[in-house]
Structure 1
């Protein structure tokens, strides 16, 4: 079985309207949090920047949370702008729903395919794993990995799930020989 891996190369862009210029793409840039203390309560925001006008917006992560309710390591991560913590909040579906944004993954991922050819006996079984929840259509992913047209993928690939549907989870497929 050949392993393929879909990896994130950068954080995806946020698709939402800018309140200043009405453009539709935001970035987390370097990935920064803003932590504000008000007595014994903390507010934590993830800062995002409009790609068109540089307007900075805040996405609420925690609002009026008691300081004692935070794990010290988590609080240190917010204060140090931990990139893994930025990614975890940005990729959280609840965060996207709450702040009404979608993730634009264009150019933010790559498919790693081993260089080994198909010298094995046919049919060839290939397992695809996802490092992050990158939504991609199965037929497009397979076509990119094999260098085939999507029509040829549909005729030569056997998969338990629909090839035309997007997925964020791993799957396995079987590549049949030509002819």
Structure 2
């Protein structure tokens, strides 16, 4: 198949905002919380520091603290990281929230609905078929490849199953990069299946 490929194109799954947390509120029992703009709280107790990531219940507004570091010696922190906690650096907020260890410790899941976009090349129609596409994930957004490919290429899900070949299962969620090949449309395809 690779010898028949004319073009290799990259696609990128990018985060548009921080995902919501599926985390039960102790006050109103809602299941949804947000980091909002993302803030840390740092508390010093002698030479020990506590660092929390603050999240807010979407329903009632109650603030919850997710422990990031507990009674950690000040000397154990990299100065740049410590500055990031004090200034609530957005990149540090994102990397902390997306760390699976934090989710396991606090028993929450991330809700990525509406928090990502797929950036695709704008030259699909001009490219000769078949086309090989390499998908890169900038953040661990769990998506079904079938849905991702359909959305990115403007194909129906039936067309994806007919025209797309991949080494990974298209119906099983992934958050890792993968490669797929789009074959030329057949007589059953319609022009609406090809992005314009």
Using the size of structure 1 for normalisation, the TM-score is 0.98
Q: Which residue of 2 aligns with 1:166?
A: 173
Shift of 1:71: 1.0
**Aligned mate of 2:155, from 148, 151, 171:** 148
Separation of aligned partners in 2, 1:117 and 1:163: 21
User: 1:11 matched to which residue of 2?
Assistant: 18
Q: Which residue of 1 is the match for residue 134 of structure 2?
A: 127
Q: Select 1:74's aligned residue among 61, 74, 81.
A: 81
Q: Could you tell me how far 1:28 is from its partner in structure 2?
A: 0.4
Q: 2:142 and 2:15 mapped to 1: Cα distance?
A: 11
Moved segments of 4+, more than 3 Å = none
Partner of 1:32, secondary structure, is strand
CA contact (8 A) 1:42 1:65 kept: yes
Distance across 2 between alignment mates of 1:29 and 1:84: 14
Aligned to 1:2: 9
For the Cα contact (< 8 Å) 1:118–1:124, is it kept in 2? no
Q: Which runs of 5 or more residues in structure 2 are unaligned?
A: 1-7, 187-196
- Bigger fraction of residues in strand: 1
Residues 104-130 of structure 1, C-alpha deviation per residue, up to 9 Å, x if partnerless?
Answer: 000000001111133333211111111
Q: Which runs of 5+ in 1 are unaligned?
A: none
Distance in 2 of aligned mates of 1:75 and 1:120? 49
Of 39-48 and 147-156, the range deviating more from structure 2: 147-156
Matched residue, 2:48: 41
1:7-42 deviation per Cα after TM superposition (whole angstroms, max 9, x unaligned): 000000000110000011100011100000111111
Residue by residue over 1:125-164, the C-alpha shift from the partner in whole angstroms, topping out at 9 and shown as x without a partner, is 1111111111100000000011111121011100011000
User: What TM-score, normalized to structure 2?
Assistant: 0.89
Asked if the contact 1:143–1:153 (Cα under 8 Å) also holds between the matched residues in 2, the reply is yes
User: 1:176 and 2:183 equivalent?
Assistant: yes
Give the total of aligned pairs.
179
Query: Over aligned residues, Cα RMSD in angstroms?
Result: 0.8
Q: Which residue of 2 aligns with 1:100?
A: 107
CA offset at residue 178 of structure 1? 1.5
Distance, in Å, in 2 between the alignment partners of 1:117 and 1:87 is 33
